[in-house]
Structure 1
């Protein structure tokens, strides 16, 4: 499981010539990092200085932290799904019967492979909502961490969108392929919203240091 690997071990596998893990798993790890940074920013928005917002900050910290294992699970799901896709593509295709069986297996695997990135997009939407709420009162000293978290969430959404685009191209069932348009559009909106909020936080950091 990816959650039990060392960072070095995962990156070594990611850089290898093996089919998995790939961009989908990496995007899910970006979401996990984004959740962790949101939780950190919220955790430091406590104490007498932030008494007015402490209850909300603790709630957001807990929610963000709870999403970390969900993101890691999606990384595992993505790797397993694309292992099945890779296995299907390796099936023999010498005869007409083999080509038909291989094509069916590939399409079945692709239909399952779109599930993790679609779920990841939903997760990034939830994380963006937490970030938007937290940005309204977060400890100013943690604005950079919050901005970094939003950039990680942006990367996760954009990565999931890229994976769906590749899958859509290879799925022959137009009915299935068309269902990917809405989540892909949502991912684009989430990425843009993360970028805007991150820029707002950077502007606040610059203004505070003038």
Structure 2
């Protein structure tokens, strides 16, 4: 994922192959949201923003970390989904093979659900940073704050679907509970993102 050009990644995304897919796309939505937050923060520097300098510096550092984390999760998702397809291809000629295959599938599905669950965590932080920047961020790039939250919202809602699709095949109740909890706040996050966008639209309409 780090080495692809954008066009090369999109070619692979459009290809008839299992990965990258929606999970990787969700992660890259999150990465773009984090990058946009970082850009707005970098424009919110200098004497005019001296009062917020410390907070802005922290936002720049965290947004960069979130961006790289999201790209890593895109790669993790592609690998995890490939593991699922490999598990489904295991032999099932007898009861022993069937049991081993079922166990491998359950483990692979749990593994496939973890990257999108982590994407939701990244997206949540992106929205939080955008909310922090909104009151004082450079007005010349205020629309990019909305763009960041919209990207984060797309990341979270897409990632939720990718967690949920895997839940049915996961037998471990502790893992199911953990993953179910990871998606519980997505509607609230989407509402927060929408509120940021609404605030930006109100501001630019003046």
Tell me the TM-score normalised to structure 2 length.
0.93
Gaps of 5+ in 2: none
Distance in 1 of aligned mates of 2:181 and 2:202: 32
- Worse-superposed segment, 178-187 or 7-16: 178-187
Q: Which residue of 2 aligns with 1:121?
A: 120
Count of residue pairs brought into register by the alignment: 206
Gaps of 5+ in 1: none
Q: Within the alignment, does 1:90 sit opposite 2:92 as a pair?
A: no
Matched residue SS, 1:3: coil
**How far does residue 178 in structure 1 lie from its aligned partner after superposition?**
2.8
Distance in 2 of aligned mates of 1:152 and 1:191: 10
Matched residue SS, 1:114: helix
Q: Which residue of 1 aligns with 2:203?
A: 204
Please give the root-mean-square deviation of Cα atoms over the aligned residues, in Å.
1.5
Distance in 2 of aligned mates of 1:57 and 1:176: 37
Distance in 1 of aligned mates of 2:177 and 2:199: 35
Tell me the TM-score normalised to structure 1 length.
0.91
Paired residues of 2:114 and 2:163 also in contact (CA < 8 A):
no
Q: Which residue of 1 aligns with 2:155?
A: 156
1:150-183 Cα deviation digits (max 9, x unpaired): 1001111111111111011232344432332211
Distance in 1 of aligned mates of 2:14 and 2:79: 17
Q: Which residue of 2 aligns with 1:12?
A: 11
- Worse-superposed segment, 29-38 or 161-170: 161-170
Distance in 1 of aligned mates of 2:59 and 2:174: 38
Q: Which residue of 2 aligns with 1:56?
A: 55
